[in-house]
Structure 1
Amino acid sequence: MVKVSTYFAMSLGAFLFWQSMDKVHVWIALRQDEKKERLEKEAEIRRVREELLREQASQKDSLA
């Protein structure tokens, strides 16, 4: 009887462990996706800002 209950407890413990690890992996993947999206947005903002500065500089040069 002790062997059966020990086996059941170990199986339950392993199941709970793998479920928690699955949740951790999902959480890490979501964090990485959010970070990637944020970096892409920042790069796009930087690119648009540089384009606007170039346009303003070319307009100043053409007026002068």
Structure 2
Amino acid sequence: MVRVATYFGMSLGAFVFWQSMEKVHVWIALHQDEKKERLNSEAEIRIMREELLHQAKQNERLA
């Protein structure tokens, strides 16, 4: 009986551990995706800012 209870307890513990690791991996993946999206949007903003500054300099030269 003790062996069966121990086996059941270890199986339940392994299942809970597996499920929690699954949630941790999903959480990490989501945050990595959010970080990539944020970095991409910041890069796009930086490129647009540089283009606008370049256009402003050209307009100053023409004026």
TM-score (norm 1): 0.95
Corresponding letter in the other structure for 1:19? Q
Q: Does 1:19 align with 2:19?
A: yes
Cα-Cα RMSD: 0.5
Which residue of 2 is the match for residue 29 of structure 1? 29
The aligned length equals 63
Q: Does 1:40 align with 2:40?
A: yes
Q: CA deviation at 1:62?
A: 1.2
Which residue of 1 is the match for residue 8 of structure 2? 8
Deviation string 1:2-41 (CA, Å, 9 cap, x unpaired) is: 1111000000000000000000000000010000000000
**Counterparts of 1:2 and 1:53 in 2: how far apart (Å)?**
75
Structure 2 segments unaligned to the other structure (5+ residues)? none
Which stretches of structure 1, 4 residues or longer, exceed 3 Å deviation after superposition? none
Structure 1 segments unaligned to the other structure (5+ residues)? none
Q: Percent identity?
A: 68
